[in-house]
Amino acid sequence: MEIQPVQVIGGGLAGTEAAWQIAQHGVPVILYEMRPQRFSPAHHTEQLAELVCSNSFGAAASDRAAGLLHEELRQLGSIIIAKADEHAVPAGAALAVDRGQFSQDLTQTLARHPLIELRRQEIRAIPEGIVVLATGPLTSPDLAENLRRFTGMEYLSFFDAASPIVIGETINREIAFFASRYDKGEGAYLNCPMNKQQYLQFWQALCTAEQTELKDFERETAKFFEACLPIEELARRGEDTMRYGPLKPVGLSDPRTNERPYAVVQLRQEDKAGQLWNMVGFQTNLRWGEQKRVFQMIPGLENAEFVRLGVMHRNTFLNAPQLILPTLQFKNRPTLLAAGQLIGTEGYTAATAGGLLAGINAARLALGKEPLTLPPTTMMGALFEFISSASPKHFQPMPPNFGILPPLQEKIKNKQQRYGYYRDRALTDLKSWKIKHL
């Protein structure tokens, strides 16, 4: 029986990896990339897998979240990580690449594969057949509109205004307390109380902290999101503006004093296991170093570890928990898969990981085999489990981090040692999985 080619849309990190995996499984693939016919506002070359900003894939050591993901991808035969290793440049503890050589080599390698056909064409509507969507955070407008009609208006976002996320066990529970305003519902929030002096110091630090510059196209998009003001902008509108907004203390009483605090920062549970906590209303454009400095002034967050800092940028992404299975298939159309920033993972390495799994599963579908999920104890498996099971109401993109892995059976206090155990468990489980499935 002749196998119909799988169609991959978008030749970024996810699409390039997906196309390679499909072809390596013996299935023909057509990879559509709109450049150079049309450029996104951030891409500048016609090469596949262009790195739009930094040339770094994050920390290289395998006991760091990004490094563990690199290692898992190496074990599974990722072409992106193989080429990143080949074109690595000295970058201290990070895996960084010569971006020109990296993308050019990938473009030539894919072009030489007998089962890959590269078509330089913009796709404006989701095609029939087995398809992998990997058009990234700057998906072209016509396809985004088509996707919005396919998924439903509310399931596609165009702007990411994400608050920082903190690892629960690094929040000081002697200060932060569980409660909901006016005791409505369960005590679903962790509350960090401030007295007047603490609030004023925090307010001043926020007003004077350094911001990142939005790009022109992001500034344009941001205008439509007045409802989602950065916390520092709110602070600049007046001393009390935050106290009448996200930091309002009404309906809350500090159990240590039985009094209403002067202001309260609330954190909302982000994952099912309660390991990750989202700072409510703290979307921000502050520089990352500044975010750590200023947010650690909040009582209870002195030693907070952030798995993701706040960002506000143009980002087209799906509400994956509503739409996507951990196999990266759409729930309502199993022959359609998606990967990369579009499904709400964040960063180059996570996009590569999505491309790898979507590619394997698209090839398996073409060969009449069941699609696979990865062990939840691996960084890849945990990432796809998270995006398919997080709360759809508050869904925001997620980078790889140790907070999404299932806890270890034994509690290990030393962080570096704990991360080493996570790494060992992930790589052992991945090895068994590989023997069983690939």
* Residue ranges in contact with ligand FAD by CB under 6 A: 9-15, 32-35, 40, 42-43, 52-54, 122-123, 134-140, 143, 340-342, 347-348, 351
Closer residue to ligand FAD (CB): 39 or 421: 39
Amino acid at 289: G
Closer residue to ligand FAD (CB): 34 or 131: 34
Closer residue to ligand FAD (CB): 138 or 166: 138
Closer residue to ligand FAD (CB): 102 or 203: 102
Maximum separation of any 2 CA atoms in the chain, in Å:
75
Closer residue to ligand FAD (CB): 262 or 288: 288
CB of 137 to ligand FAD, least distance (A): 5
| Residue among 372, 392, 398 nearest 320 (CA) | 392
CB of 333 to ligand FAD, least distance (A): 18
Closer residue to ligand FAD (CB): 190 or 342: 342
Unique residue bearing structure tokens 């307390």? 177
CB of 135 to ligand FAD, least distance (A): 4
Closer residue to ligand FAD (CB): 105 or 254: 105
Closer residue to ligand FAD (CB): 53 or 435: 53
Closer residue to ligand FAD (CB): 206 or 351: 351
CB of 325 to ligand FAD, least distance (A): 18
CB of 124 to ligand FAD, least distance (A): 6
CA angle 178, 417, 414 (to 5 degrees): 45
Closer residue to ligand FAD (CB): 23 or 263: 23
CB of 18 to ligand FAD, least distance (A): 9
CB of 15 to ligand FAD, least distance (A): 6
Structural contact between residues 402 and 419, judged by C-beta atoms closer than 8 angstroms: yes
7: which strand partners?
Answer: 30, 131
CB of 175 to ligand FAD, least distance (A): 34
Token couple for 429: 């489980």
Q: Rounded to the nearest 10 degrees, how much is the dihedral formed by the CA atoms of 248, 253, 259, 265?
A: -40
CB of 414 to ligand FAD, least distance (A): 28
Q: Which residue is nearest to ligand FAD (CB)?
A: 12
Residue 258 main-chain phi, psi, to 5 deg: 60, 25
Unique residue bearing structure tokens 């390698």? 109
Closer residue to ligand FAD (CB): 247 or 339: 339
CB of 272 to ligand FAD, least distance (A): 25
CB of 404 to ligand FAD, least distance (A): 17
